[in-house]
Structure 1
Amino acid sequence: MESGAEVTAVEIARLAGVGRAAVSNWRRRYADFPRPTGGTATSPAFRLADVEAWLIAHDRLPEPTGVDRLWRALRHGSADPDGELPALARVLLASWRTPADARRHAAALAVADEMGVGTALAAVADRYAEVRARRGAAATSAQVAALMCELADVAGQTVLDPACRSGVLPAAAVAHGAAVVAGQDPDADHVTIAQARLYGAAVPAEVRAGGLGADAYPELRADVVLCDPPGGGRWGHDELGEDPRWAYGVPPRGEGELAWVQHALARLRPGGTAVLLLPPGVAQRPAGRRIRRELLRQGALRALITLPAGVTPPHNTRLQLWLLRRPDAAHRAREVLLVEAAGLWDETRATVLAAVRAYEAGRALPEELAGRAVVREAVELSDEDVDLTPARHIPAEQALVTADLIVRRRGELVDLLGRLPATVPPVTPGDGEPPAAQITVGDLVKKGLVALNTDPATVVRPGDVLVPSIGPRLRVRVAGPADDGRPLGAQMFLLRTKPGYVDPWCFAGFLGAQANLRRIVSAGSVPRVDVRKAHMPRLPLTRQLEYAEHFRRLREFEDALWLAATAGEEVARMVGEGLVAGTLGSG
């Protein structure tokens, strides 16, 4: 029976590997473009079968990848393909398939079996996260999940996420070398998708149904707890008010996050570490000050870090990382690290890690962190309000830097700017024609000339081409010596070119061109990336090496430009602060 599945303009753009504007142009230019069959005037829906027939007739349907064919099979088999994602994942995870399940998902299962169950489950999990994000329930970003794993040092540890949603944090823990990973969530669909994300993990990893009220791991004492808990104040105050987990005070009705903080501590072994991602209000709301004071008094709170806006959903909020340790005789924090991170992500990560490592080693904070990090006695923070917002505890006199440091940083900037012109790549006019006939990355993979990997545990080697799997602003790069041996991590593509046939620098340069980025990045609210759709020129190795040298020099220029901009911003900030405080003279 023919399917009545419908697609939006965004989904048509994804099918064809173009931007949404191209679909709008087709509708205006081609009289035979399918008419809307549903939706609204501003967001029309089109019959999928009609759209596919039109794309094929006009030679605008690229060769489908396995993931493309999986979504098409779902669309043809259901009027609500996105709603079928958890059901399909459950069937793929099952040790056997009932006849009813086999019939219901026959087309999708056939494609999934061809792709490989692990690859299909990873695609289902990513698609589910994209759908949830469009509905305002985005998951923790890959970069913040990785930082949380680094801060907790999860390698070789037993890790619990008591509110794992679609499994981003458990998957990150596996990628960072955790020995055992456990997760729970009260939503059955979340549990299924998290299980799909952890499928094939090299270590014991499981996800159960559970939450604050029905804890799936009441006896577990983990080494590490990672958690990005659900927001909102409804946490079960009336039912759980007498629970023994509230060792720091019963959380008020509107302080659900503080219930999760205490749950995390209760599920740790003595001396174990917890890292939670929380909204900024948790550090300052009056209702929670008694619990915050008790966390300080008992030495459970180690650090509180404010992140820049935009690094993880919700992107308009500066979320905070709370680092806690379950107190024991040897681990009872008397000082608390407070960090106010800012800038681009690489700078943020470097700031946070430098501050935390110095604090944990008992060293003074690095001089360059002045104004961004401070260590305070817990008793100092236990004033009437117990406001733990980092920015409130870095007063002007603490934030200032010395004149010697400003002079040194200015000299470094002048030196850097002096070397910058030599890095500008030379240019020569070309003939205006593309360098050669094109071949897709998908075809290069099929021919064995490029290996494509998305397993977070994959070990990176120098020369690997690394591409984020979520857009919109992608930075394609070639792995260097500093990347050697590290895990790939979540939401990344690794492309390993065949030596002697495909040069990685040439490959990365063409892959990162705007023409290719338009092909490979979807137009959804959470832009997804499919590197297989990128086009590459067919070039002999000698010509590839010529291009490789140009792309390598171009990347060196971009890196030098970024360093100069970053250093310039830092010097401008330091000089401004120095003038205001009198550290620098105005004459």
Structure 2
Amino acid sequence: MKHGGEVTAGDIARLAGVSRAAVSNWRKRHPDFPKPVGGSVSSPTFPLAEIEVWLEANGRMPTRTDVDRLHLVLQRASMDSDDAVAAIVRLLLEPEPATGPYAQVAAEIRAIAAEIGTDTVLEALATRFVDLRDRRGAGGRSTSAEVAALVVELAQPHGSTVMDPACRTGVLVHAAIARHAARVIAQDADDDLVAIARARLAAAVDRPTRVEVRRGDLVVDAFADVRVDIVVSDPPNAGGWPYEELARDLRWEYSLPPRSEPELAWIQHALARLHPGGHVWMLLPPGVAERPAGRRVRRELLRRGALRAVIALPTGVTAPYNMRRHLWMLRRPDAVDGPQAVLMVDAEQPWPEAAEMIRGAVRAHLAGRPLPDEIGAHAVRLDPVSLSSEDVDLTPSRHVSGSQRAPDFTQVAVTRDRLAAAMASLPASLPPVQARRSSHDPVADTTVGDLVKRGSLAVIAEPGSPLRAGDVLISSTGPRPDLQVVDHDGDGEPLDNRRICIRSNPDHWDPWFILGCLSSSANLRRVVSTGSIPRIEVRRARIPSLSPREQHLYGEYFRRLQEMLVGLRRATALGEEFVEMIVGGLLAGTLDTDR
């Protein structure tokens, strides 16, 4: 966005929800399109006010939500950047009227807040900040809301003091407030992230939770004298840490972290801030579990009884979305503690099933009960001595499959029966198909973006927005997006930050027809952007213009195809489990072939 209320062709495309090529066509075909007022021949800029008038007059301005109004205020003032958003947030958190270059914008946003609520505005600004930083790769990425919710649920913070020593935008401590933590304290080294975290937490505190967010890091710890019950964190892992400056620090009870292992420094920092018996729940890259440089610290954590669990989460459930994150559970040992059994969980299922399995495994582990039989293929409790081999490799997948109890015949028989039933149901799920008997004229189509402008579809990406039955959900990241139609059980559930919602006017568009169109290979090529983290640009998808009756016929067929896919995936999963059980049982001597 340019100064003086000027916009580029790319800005206009984002404002109207179209491609840059469409903006170029408008300039060529419409003599009344506003003339450039700046920029260069290859990248001209246009007056924003005139562009808005032209879009409105030509029916090309999408319907704006309250949050859209907020973003538009920032665009008009040329302050739609992450540092400007953070500066405005600071002004909004101050009780006195704003002064300085952002004063007018802050006043306009205060007026919007008076209409829709300060909490809504602060949360929207926090979300906008994260989106802007992610676009330019500047860091500050947020833990996904669903992973944060699970981490805090496992931590059980009700009535406790919770700390995040590297809070980023405050997602984890925000979840702790929702779980009735008595006190929440957080710090971060980035002033802008501190402002955004304060905004997010200020919007969340509607109950008697004491909250404090300060600037701080490993060197200048803002809460050095405070001891807490629980630490939750997703600390930074880029680069090293101030090794020379902190080499003699008393926090390194489990051996001095190597220069290249900042995560092991954050782990020991967190343990040092706990009361005896307190717990750490920390999200870490998978390399922390196996890198040779960190083996000495890992061995000490095992020997002293500090490490209690390592949980490998499914790929793509939290940033960065191209790797599997690990969740480590640690405990500050009491004076009488010694080596403790360590829970290893390898959760590579779809998220709802993975989350439920993790809950069951952790509850049983903390209570000292045997792990439930149904998760035996994904979790195991190990003696720390067996983990303290030469490499001290704590990667769950390298222990779960080789350490689980060999299956007995009863388990195998049950799984075989389930597999047989799943396979038997597949032929009936195959929908009939035949060649078309007559030729037909090509059907005209249109883009999702154009349908949004006409008001017959809405694209909703704001996390927390309540879903409705009939909404079509598409995952916002991943090489092969997941598609789903919300049923009545999902009505009212909040939209998470990994999915986009397409809401149709039921009089015009059948949701199952939309889902089928989006799942076509041609549309997937259009909407999935390239890059290390693929993203979904759903407005590019093309939808055939069929009558509601024709849509319903196709939609019912697409629904049956989706049911067939679900059955195939279930049979495949059961088949893989059955094969693993047979091989494991034969090699362990608990099964025999039919000879």
TM-score if structure 1 supplies the norm length?
0.76
| Residue identity opposite 1:73 in structure 2 | V
Match of 2:169 among 154, 163, 166: 166
Report the secondary structure of 1:31's partner residue.
Answer: helix
Aligned partner of 2:121 in structure 1 is 120
CA distance in 2, matches of 1:229, 1:293: 21
CA distance in 2, matches of 1:260, 1:251: 9
| Residue identity opposite 2:300 in structure 1 | E
Match of 1:145 among 145, 148, 162: 148
CA distance in 1, matches of 2:374, 2:134: 37
Q: Does 1:312 align with 2:318?
A: yes
Report the secondary structure of 2:324's partner residue.
Answer: coil
Aligned partner of 2:577 in structure 1 is 570
CA distance in 2, matches of 1:139, 1:125: 10
Q: Deviations over 1:82-118 (max 9, x none)?
A: 4311011112221122343423545445444443322
1:172 and 1:489 in contact (8 A); partners too: no
| Residue identity opposite 2:203 in structure 1 | G
Aligned partner of 1:447 in structure 2 is none
Aligned pairs (5 A) from 1:188-227: 188-201=191-204, 202-203=206-207, 204=209, 205-227=211-233
CA distance in 2, matches of 1:578, 1:45: 67
Aligned partner of 1:538 in structure 2 is none
Q: CA deviation at 1:28?
A: 5.0
Aligned partner of 1:336 in structure 2 is 342
Q: Does 1:89 align with 2:83?
A: no
CA distance in 1, matches of 2:366, 2:335: 17
2:62 and 2:453 in contact (8 A); partners too: no
Q: CA deviation at 1:354?
A: 2.8
Aligned partner of 2:51 in structure 1 is 52
2:71 and 2:80 in contact (8 A); partners too: no
Instruction: Please identify, of 399-408 and 367-376, the stretch whose mean Cα deviation from structure 2 is larger.
Output: 399-408
Report the secondary structure of 2:315's partner residue.
Answer: coil
CA distance in 2, matches of 1:318, 1:369: 19
CA distance in 2, matches of 1:107, 1:148: 37
1:134 and 1:526 in contact (8 A); partners too: no
Aligned partner of 1:284 in structure 2 is 290
Q: CA deviation at 1:56?
A: 3.3
CA distance in 1, matches of 2:195, 2:311: 32
Q: Does 1:407 align with 2:413?
A: yes
> Is the alpha carbon distance of 1:370 and 1:221 closer, same or farther for their aligned partners in structure 2, counting shifts above 3 Å?
same
Instruction: Please identify, of 251-260 and 113-122, the stretch whose mean Cα deviation from structure 2 is larger.
Output: 113-122
Q: CA deviation at 1:296?
A: 1.2
CA distance in 2, matches of 1:208, 1:573: 51
Q: Does 1:585 align with 2:582?
A: no
CA distance in 1, matches of 2:482, 2:177: 25
Match of 1:240 among 238, 246, 249: 246
Aligned partner of 1:543 in structure 2 is none
Q: CA deviation at 1:61?
A: 1.2
1:469 and 1:530 in contact (8 A); partners too: no
Q: Deviations over 1:490-536 (max 9, x none)?
A: 7889999xxxx999xx9986996867999xx99897869999xxx9x
1:176 and 1:487 in contact (8 A); partners too: no
Unaligned runs of 5+ in 2: 437-442, 544-552
Aligned partner of 1:539 in structure 2 is none
2:307 and 2:342 in contact (8 A); partners too: yes
> Is the alpha carbon distance of 1:383 and 1:581 closer, same or farther for their aligned partners in structure 2, counting shifts above 3 Å?
closer
Instruction: Please identify, of 116-125 and 138-147, the stretch whose mean Cα deviation from structure 2 is larger.
Output: 138-147
Aligned pairs (5 A) from 1:419-430: 419=425
CA RMSD of the aligned region, Å? Answer: 5.0
2:345 and 2:378 in contact (8 A); partners too: yes
CA distance in 2, matches of 1:165, 1:125: 11
Unaligned runs of 5+ in 1: 445-449, 536-545
Instruction: Please identify, of 484-493 and 196-205, the stretch whose mean Cα deviation from structure 2 is larger.
Output: 484-493
Q: Deviations over 1:527-574 (max 9, x none)?
A: 69999xxx9xxxxxxxxxx99999999987776565445434433554
Instruction: Please identify, of 374-383 and 207-216, the stretch whose mean Cα deviation from structure 2 is larger.
Output: 374-383
CA distance in 2, matches of 1:172, 1:46: 44
CA distance in 1, matches of 2:330, 2:467: 34
Report the secondary structure of 1:275's partner residue.
Answer: strand
Instruction: Please identify, of 483-492 and 572-581, the stretch whose mean Cα deviation from structure 2 is larger.
Output: 483-492
CA distance in 1, matches of 2:554, 2:116: 34
CA distance in 1, matches of 2:112, 2:537: 20
Q: CA deviation at 1:578?
A: 5.7
- Percent identity, aligned pairs only? 42
Q: Deviations over 1:174-232 (max 9, x none)?
A: 23443332211011100011111122322423321111111122233222111111114
Aligned partner of 1:180 in structure 2 is 183
1:271 and 1:331 in contact (8 A); partners too: no
> Is the alpha carbon distance of 1:320 and 1:241 closer, same or farther for their aligned partners in structure 2, counting shifts above 3 Å?
same
